[in-house]
Chain A
Amino acid sequence: MFKCSKIKDIYSQLKSGISKVLQSLEKNNIQSAEYEVEKLLQELEQQENKLSKGKDIELDEFFILKQQIFFFKNYVNLWNKIFIEEYGESWVELQNCLDKIRLIKKFLYDSSFAIIQFFESQLLELEQLYPYKIFMSTSLIVDYYKCSICGKDIDSNECEHIKGELYRGKIACGIANKIRNMNHIAMVKYPSDKRCVEIYDNRSEQFKLVRYLSDSLRSNKLNVISFHHLKFKKGNKKNKSIYKQGRNDLCQCGSGKKFKKCCQNKMYVVQEHVDIVGQPTHIKCILA
């Protein structure tokens, strides 16, 4: 996964910790997974201190490794929020996870590793269980963007960094300096930040699908690692407000028409149905 021998060594040291996190999640034991992630983070911090004066490529690859460990922190937080029925908060953690995957895919020389593919596929399926389809997007008028690395105007010639690129293990960002005003807020389908959403109560109807998943996990019908994909289908459901009557009887709705020419064709309504599909997944295969 990594080119530098130093980073390869650190990764193999951390791999058993990652495996323990996944094993805990396989048992739906969130507390144990949280404990293992904390241990990983401590180990990572120690390694970071040792590497502070490393070569450019070492620091850049360490950045990717760090994103992986932070990913697991977000990943455990995500499932924890689903377990404790804090669905709105779990959406934010889900987006944190997806952002980490984007960063890893961007900077890793080969993004076809099983671990990335597994989590990307699983989390994109999970994303579909949430009610958010339209997002808010702000439009700001800004004087200039300060480079997160050198502090100069990131768009000027004086700053040598390109936004979004890695420089000795740090990513160059443009920090908005002097926001003059907010021009408008638009509603968009594809925002840069999917966290800008309408807030729903965690007990609301909008979260019924995630709630169903949460119930399945808490009752151990499914485990976190085995959650695999969703099957969407349409089916006919009995309309409870209409009862069966003779075809030629006067319709129950009071229209004065015969039942066969009025409400008979409304006895069933088309309903979207989602199956949550689990699949046994071997941790060894994910970490391969």
Chain B
Amino acid sequence: MSIFDDKDLCEELNYSANDEYQQYLKTTPSGIKFLPEKCPEVSELLLKSETGTFVKWIKKNHKSINLEIPPKSQKLSLNSNEYWMPLVFLASDMSLQVYLGIVASYIYDRTKGMLSNDKRGVHLKAVYNDQKLQVSKEFVYDGSIEGLENIIKKIDVNKLMEH
């Protein structure tokens, strides 16, 4: 297998920086919080360059969603043909399934005009609250747009929460 082979990766992990997320859950009952992240070989935290466009798109298309945006931070701009979505915290009213649906329709809008052989990938991380187990989990996806759409179709949040 070559390093350039296409492969979709989807993981659900226990979220390590739990205190920060629990604090968010206590103080914010609804919406999405966008966060800068650590990047290899860079000391400061950086926001993914897709953040601004994504935030504006949500404001335009889902006006009722409460959004928390970090103060100005530097941006990491990657020139691969992929959507590097920002790390997000999901409040208790925002299920993972709903968030993934929002990402999918954002990507659908952004990929209008794609040529028949164009391929684009998606990278996303979302931290959400597993209400049954009362633990915070991190959903990670790295793969194709089609792969993400399949996951949304197949995902059964209730089953995920049973783990």
**Are A and B associated in one complex?**
yes
Query: Which A residues fall within an 8 A CB radius of B?
Result: 98, 101-107, 111, 120-121, 124, 127, 134, 137-145, 153-156, 162-164, 174, 176, 180, 183-184, 186-193, 196
Contact at B53–A191, with CB atoms within 8 Å? Answer: no
Contacts of A106 in B (CB 8 A): 112-113
Smallest beta-carbon distance A273→chain B, Å: 21
- Given A142-B74, A155-B52, A183-B41: A162 and B60 interface contact (C-beta under 8 Å): yes
Complex contacts, B4 vs chain A, CB 8 Å: 134, 187-189
CA separation between A102 and B120, bound complex, in Å? 14
> Which B residues have a C-beta under 8 Å from some C-beta of A?
4, 6, 39-42, 46, 49, 51-53, 55-57, 60, 72, 74-82, 110, 112-121
A143 to B46, CA, bound (A): 10
**Nearest chain A CB to B44 CB, angstrom units:** 9
Judged by DSSP, the binding face of B is loop
- Give complex CA distance A182, B80 in Å: 14
Asked if residues A142 and B49 are in contact (CB atoms below 8 Å), the reply is: yes
Q: Specify the main secondary structure of chain A where it touches its partner.
A: mixed
Instruction: Return chain A residues, CB-CB under 8 Å to B75.
Output: 141-145, 155
Task: Provide a sorted-by-A list of 13 A–B residue pairs whose CB atoms are within 8 angstroms.
Answer: A137-B78, A138-B78, A139-B77, A141-B46, A162-B53, A162-B56, A174-B52, A187-B4, A188-B4, A189-B119, A190-B81, A191-B80, A192-B80
Task: Say whether, besides A155-B53, A163-B52, A143 and B74 are in contact (CB < 8 Å).
Answer: yes
* Alpha-carbon distance between A102 and B76 when the two chains are bound, in angstroms: 25
Task: Output the least CB separation between A177 and chain B (Å).
Answer: 10
CB distance from B83 to the nearest CB of A (A): 11
Give the shortest distance, in Å, between A95 (CB) and chain B (any CB).
11
In Å, the complex CA distance between A188 and B41 comes to 20
Pick from A107, A139, A163, A193: contact of B53, CB below 8 A. A163
Shortest distance between the CB of A167 and any CB in chain B (Å)? 13
| CB atoms of A124 and B116 under 8 A apart | yes
A211 to B117 CA separation, bound complex (whole angstroms)? 24
Of B4, B52, B72, B74, most buried by chain A (CB within 10 Å of CB) is B52
Task: Say which residue of B40, B79, B115 sits within 8 Å of A138 (CB atoms).
Answer: B79
- Expressed in whole angstroms, the Cα–Cα distance for A12 and B76 within the complex equals 45
Contacts of A107 in B (CB 8 A): 113
Contact with B119, one of A98, A143, A190 (Cβ below 8 angstroms):
A190
- Distance A283 CA – B139 CA, assembled complex (angstroms): 52
Closest to B117 in A: A124
Bound-complex Cα distance A107 to B109 (A): 11
Partner of A137, one of B52, B55, B79: B79
Give the top 3 A-B pairs by smallest Cβ distance, nearest first.
A155-B52, A106-B113, A105-B113
CA distance A183 to B77 in the complex (A): 9
- In the complex, the chain A residue whose C-beta lies closest to that of B110 is A164
**Whole-angstrom distance from the CB of A100 to the nearest CB of chain B?**
10
- 7 more contacts with CB within 8 A, not counting A105-B114, A111-B113, A174-B49, are A139-B79, A140-B76, A140-B77, A154-B53, A176-B77, A183-B39, A190-B80
